[in-house]
Structure 1
Amino acid sequence: MTIDIDVLPNLRDLGGLDTYSGRRTRTGVLYRSALPAPDDTRPTAVTEWPARTVIDLRSPREFATRAHPLQSEHTAVHLVSLLTDAEVTEPSSDLRLAEIYQGILTNAGGRLADVLQIAATAPGPLLLHCAAGKDRTGVAVALLLRVAAVEPDDIIADYVSTDEHMSAVLARITRFAPELGHTHPHDRDLRGVDPGAIEIVLSHWESHPGGVLGWVQSHGATDETIQLWIERFT
């Protein structure tokens, strides 16, 4: 298979998903992707580009390596780190993805609530990404979808679809961000996705008093923010 290195991989619009309330997620509101690169070809996977708001979920050291390619007078970039520099660089060969995701829920719950706040109030479309667009992005996207009442099976299916893009993601990291070879654990990405890991995340939220809404409220989200997001996205 030929990989077009100049096309942003793992980019998709999360509109068109059914919710258990009988509504459907809107297109043109929420995108997800891997790490954008300078001089990317204009993508055809979404209708409006570039996004007006970007949430970069990488760690401060990852973020500081170079200027964000989408930052402009028309696009605001927010750094909301879901893993610390130390957590990103520590060897991950003995860690299951489920343990990494659980660490995000335990240590970065407030920052996930910040993601929801930005998503609910900042100009759209909104793009979420990290380095590969798989793990940190997977957890953050799962939260936004679940708050909007998207069914767990559809959230898992979206998460799993990232596996189709991993060859392109790793090729681009090697070319456009070689420094990540020293700061980002490629073995974690080479393992691909783990549906069981995201299922554990969803179960964690559902087991919390009040479900996912109760969980995100316990980490600082307000009723107003939740309602704004639901009305915006569905």
Structure 2
Amino acid sequence: MEPVTERWIDLDGLVNMRDLGGLPTRGGGTVVPRRLIRSDNLQDLTDADVTRVVEELGVTDIIDLRTETELHLEGEGPLRRVDALTHHHHSLLPPRAPESADEIAARALALPAREEQEARDATFWARHYLGYLDQRPDSVSAALRVVAQARGAAVVHCAAGKDRTGTVVAMALDVAGVPREAIVEDYALSAERIEAIIARIAGTDSHGPWLAKQAVADQTPRAETMEAILDAVADGWGGAPGWLRDQGWSEDEVEGLRARLTRP
């Protein structure tokens, strides 16, 4: 497998971007570089970052998994001003009216201690991720369809680039035929930069009040969380391809996503 250090994409305005290119597939092939890129929030990119994203990385599509509240509080990022990019918003949480910073802070303060303790358990995160598939299958399916149809590289991102992004990316990699252990390893790789990830989003109105009540370890990705997700998808649908077929994808469409991401 390609050394993980070569998959990181370092830009001044973010801390958790990496290319999924180079991951192996079960058929002996690999994931094609510059087809699927995962990232934390793109809100703080510099002008030089924007140029690199468009011209060097060849990005054509941005898949934003954040909520309506996050978009409302943080505003449009610099990539929104680039006409060559197509933006797709597919929140993985149930739709709700945007909240103010004060409302978010009040809800965070009211979080019961029991829920705070559950957040330290890997099974909490596994249930949370399966909730994306259960409550917003439309958004997960739509995000994967963008990946399949993108002209160039598609960037999938949320705030931290590890949970919502990790779920969508894992589904894409499972369709591509990437072995389970490589999918788990990629998910857990965000732990290498977790302190920088948390420091970056802790200053936002949308995430700061929640993170103030948790230790960095509570947010650290764990291999067993992704293993539980892959087990659940395999048990329920025979894997991500079966899940997509259950969402109305044809066999040709599933194969199109696989072909888009892989090469022999």
TM-score range, shorter chain: 0.7 to 0.9
Which of 2, 9, 27 is the equivalent residue of 2:15?
Answer: 9
1:128 aligns with 2:156: yes
Distance in 1, matches of 2:234 and 2:216, equals 27
Q: Which residue of 1 is the match for residue 128 of structure 2?
A: 100
Q: How far apart in 2 are the matches of 1:226 and 1:27? A: 20
Match for residue 231 of structure 2? 203
Task: Answer whether contact 2:11 2:49 (CA < 8 A) is retained.
Answer: no
User: How many residue pairs were aligned?
Assistant: 229
**Contact preservation (8 Å) 1:97, 1:194:** no
Structure 2: stretches of 5+ with no match in the other structure:
1-9
In 2, distance between residues paired with 1:58 and 1:142? 17
1:141 counterpart = 2:147: no
Give the match for residue 33 of structure 1.
39
Distance, in Å, in 1 between the alignment partners of 2:53 and 2:222 is 24
Counterpart residue identity of residue 42, structure 1: D
Assess if the C-alpha contact under 8 Å between 1:13 and 1:28 holds in 2.
yes
Distance 1:166 1:205 in 2: 26
| Alignment check: 8 A CA contact 2:35 2:153 kept | yes
- Equivalent in 210, 234, 253 of residue 225 of structure 1: 253
Could you tell me whether the CA contact under 8 Å between 1:116 and 1:221 is conserved in 2? no
Q: Which amino acid aligns with 1:36?
A: L
Q: Partners of 1:136 and 1:52 in 2: how far apart?
A: 21
Structure 1 unaligned runs (5+)? none
Superposition TM-score, scaled by structure 2 size: 0.77
Percent identity between the aligned chains?
31
User: How far did residue 174 of structure 1 move?
Assistant: 3.7
Inter-CA distance 188–83: structure 2 relative to 1 (3 Å threshold)? farther
State which of 169, 175, 185 in structure 1 corresponds to 2:197: 169
Q: Per-residue deviation at 1:47? A: 8.3
Shift >6 Å, 4+ stretches: 43-47, 183-186
- Residue 7 of structure 2: aligned partner: none
Q: Which amino acid aligns with 1:222?
A: S
- Cα distance in 1, alignment partners of residues 257 and 11 from structure 2: 34
The 3 A distance-change label for structure 1 pair 188 and 50 is farther
In the other structure, the counterpart of 2:90 is 80
Which residue pairs with 1:68 in the alignment?
77
- Compare the two structures and name the one with the higher helix fraction: 2
1:152 match = 180
Q: Deviations over 1:80-101 (max 9, x none)?
A: 1112367x96645234111211
Displacement after TM superposition at 1:160 (Å): 0.6
Residue 110 of structure 1, CA deviation: 2.5
Aligned to 1:58: 66
**SS in structure 2 opposite 1:53?**
strand
Distance 1:209 1:161, change over 3 A: closer
CA drift of 1:180 comes to 3.1
- Output the TM-score relative to the length of structure 1: 0.86
User: Tell me, what secondary structure is at the counterpart of 1:52?
Assistant: strand
Distance in 2 of aligned mates of 1:76 and 1:42: 17
Instruction: Say whether the 8 Å CA contact 1:58–1:130 is kept in structure 2.
Output: yes
